[in-house]
């Protein structure tokens, strides 16, 4: 039994029990096409321009219904984030009204946001959100990029380990945002508040198609298309869900180099020690 067999068996043992994540199947429908993302792979990093564009799309489109309550304004300027300056973040935070209090007279009050605040909720509570959306609940988007996936069959889910494919969530989101069809296929009926989406589990989605060409103005010359908007806002949501991704991959590479050198040294040490035993 050499080391290769050992490692191979380790991998097989780990995975052959079936990827747990992949078991959460979208009931039917085509697989979301895999997109190219700057943050995939071992040297992945966010494209600051893209995150800023995506943030703009979020603010001008998604934010009408979807909150981002786990994200603090200050984090927009962290290393590996959108690259906003302190001043920009202060100005941005001040555009939001934050519920605070109680004050000395026992009253709750509204005040301008500060960098340490989190994106405020859009609706006072779930009931209010549902009431304005015909019963549907617009979900919070803070970790949405990690909270969605699609099923990858055998042997793809094994290959994904080696390829470091971890973009199931963002590929799904991009597909969802671009996957609306004009009308439902024959034999399917939609209520007035439902829309047909190729990639949504069950296909009948209550979110109206949120994007259309030229809806958000880009100043950096990027195409103002649904596809580009979907791509950018999805990248932004990936950052929102995983703000330390760049640090993780950078440290990971350092750890790998260290461990591989260490393993080499350990191997030759072991070999020398055992040489006298045979």
Whole-angstrom Cα distance, residue 268 to residue 230?
51
Whole-angstrom Cα distance, residue 194 to residue 64?
18
Nearest residue (CB) to another protein, 133 versus 215: 133
Q: Which residues are CB-neighbours of 247 under 8 A, at least 6 positions away?
A: 79, 80
Whole-angstrom Cα distance, residue 92 to residue 120?
13
Nearest in space to 234 (alpha carbons), one of 163, 168, 181:
168
Q: Are 64 and 141 in contact (CB under 8 A)?
A: no
- Give least dist CB 167 to another protein, A: 10
- Give least dist CB 236 to another protein, A: 16
Other C-beta atoms closer than 10 Å to the C-beta of 214 total 11
- Give least dist CB 44 to another protein, A: 9
Nearest residue (CB) to another protein, 231 versus 249: 249
- Give least dist CB 58 to another protein, A: 18
Nearest residue (CB) to another protein, 122 versus 226: 122
- Give least dist CB 259 to another protein, A: 5
Q: Are 242 and 70 in contact (CB under 8 A)?
A: no
Nearest in space to 137 (alpha carbons), one of 193, 73, 196:
193
Nearest residue (CB) to another protein, 23 versus 190: 23
Nearest residue (CB) to another protein, 112 versus 161: 161
Nearest residue (CB) to another protein, 211 versus 242: 242
- Give least dist CB 275 to another protein, A: 11
- For residues 233-267, b (16+ Cβ closer than 10 Å) or e, as one string? bbbbbbbbbbbebbeebbeeeeeeeeeeeeeeeee
Q: Given the rule CB under 8 A, which residues bind another protein?
A: 1-3, 6-7, 9-11, 13-14, 16-25, 27, 42, 70, 72, 75, 139, 142-144, 146-149, 160-161, 164-166, 168-169, 201, 241, 243-244, 247-249, 251-253, 255-256, 259-260, 262-263, 266-267, 269-270, 273-274, 277-278
């Amino acid at each position: 039994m050499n080391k290769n067999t050992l490692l191979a068996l380790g991998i097989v043992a780990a995975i052959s029990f079936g990827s747990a994540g992949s078991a959460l199947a979208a009931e039917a429908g085509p697989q979301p096409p895999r997109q190219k993302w700057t943050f995939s792979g071992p040297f992945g990093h966010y494209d600051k321009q893209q995150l800023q564009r995506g943030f703009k799309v979020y603010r001008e489109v998604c934010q009408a219904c979807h909150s981002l309550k786990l994200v603090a304004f200050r984090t927009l300027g962290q290393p590996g984030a959108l690259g906003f300056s302190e001043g920009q973040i202060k100005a941005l935070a001040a555009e939001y009204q934050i519920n605070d209090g109680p004050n000395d007279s026992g009253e709750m009050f509204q005040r301008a946001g500060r960098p340490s605040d989190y994106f405020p909720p859009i609706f006072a509570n779930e009931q209010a959100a549902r009431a304005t959306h015909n019963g549907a609940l617009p979900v919070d988007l803070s970790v949405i990029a990690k909270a969605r996936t699609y099923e990858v069959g055998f042997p793809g889910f094994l290959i994904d380990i080696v390829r470091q494919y971890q973009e199931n969530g963002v590929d799904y989101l991009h597909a969802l945002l671009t996957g609306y069809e004009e009308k439902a296929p024959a034999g399917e009926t939609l209520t007035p508040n439902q829309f047909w989406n190729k990639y949504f589990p069950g296909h009948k989605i209550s979110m109206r198609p949120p994007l259309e060409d030229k809806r958000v103005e880009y100043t950096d010359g990027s195409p103002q298309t649904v596809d580009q908007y979907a791509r950018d806002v999805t990248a932004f949501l990936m950052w929102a869900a995983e703000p330390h991704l760049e640090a993780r991959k950078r440290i990971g590479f350092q750890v790998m180099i260290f461990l591989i050198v260490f393993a080499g040294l350990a191997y030759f040490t072991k070999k020398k020690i055992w040489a006298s035993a045979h």
